[in-house]
Amino acid sequence: MSTQIFVWKITESYVQLFDEVALNDSNLIRLAGMKSELHQRGFLSVRRLLQESGYNDFDLFYDEFGKPHLKDGKHISITHSYHFSAIIISEQTVGIDIELQRGKIIRIADKFVDEEFSYLDKNNKEEYIKKLTVIWGAKEAIFKIRNEKGISFKDHIKVKAFRLEDKESKAELHFDNIVKSFKLFHEEIEGFRLVYTFE
């Protein structure tokens, strides 16, 4: 199964990015409606990545749940955070997320972590922040794959115990009397954590 991941560090101005991509009419309207320039540059850099991968904005469409799809039937997932964006394109069902690793995540851990607390070490703050970011990214990526109303990060998505140096780990979604298993991969990029997952 072929899978490609493209990551973009956004150093370009809005104008430069805008000049380098072609947008369909609905996305031109979407772009104009965005409040922050950082968000606009994230949006445009994703289109730039699409072009790097041999596609463009006209090959992409969104379903009624806001999930992106490619017209040729391949699976795509999209993410951006601050000055990084990433896309993953695969013949398999995939989800991707990139997050800045920062201490603020400790304050919201109770909202998305449940049984994972059993293997987290709160005393090792740096590792704790990084692992929380992996857990959040994994749940976000899995949610992007399933995209179903009512899924709770805390109650329904379980990330199995892992070490930061593990290249691959596992997670499960327990929802609607079904258990789905996922393979997780994560890596650190300049203080950010990139997480992607396959069903």
What is the reported pTM? 0.94
Length of the chain: 199
Greatest Cα pair distance, the chain, in angstroms, is 51
Q: Same domain, yes or no, for 77 and 111?
A: no
Q: Same domain, yes or no, for 83 and 111?
A: no
Q: Same domain, yes or no, for 68 and 37?
A: yes
CATH of the domain at 106: 3.90.470.20
Q: Same domain, yes or no, for 101 and 194?
A: yes
Whether the CA torsion 86, 182, 192, 5 is positive or negative: it is negative
* Rounded-to-5 percentages of helix, strand, coil across the chain: 35, 30, 30
Q: What is the 3-state secondary structure (H, E, C) of 140-181?
A: HHHHHHHCCCCCCHHHHEEECCCCCCCCEEEEEEEECCEEEE
* Helices and strands, number each (H, E), in the chain: 6, 10
Question: Burial code of 156-166, b = ≥16 C-beta within 10 A, e = fewer?
Answer: bbbbeebeeee
- Where a domain ends, among 67, 92, 117? 92
User: What pLDDT is attached to residue 1?
Assistant: 62
Q: Same domain, yes or no, for 79 and 165?
A: no
Number of domains in the chain: 2
Average pLDDT by stretches of 10, the chain with 199 residues: 92 96 94 95 96 96 91 96 97 96 97 97 97 98 91 96 94 94 97 96
User: What pLDDT is attached to residue 66?
Assistant: 86
Q: Same domain, yes or no, for 105 and 77?
A: no
Domain that residue 111 falls in = 97-198
Q: Same domain, yes or no, for 11 and 88?
A: yes
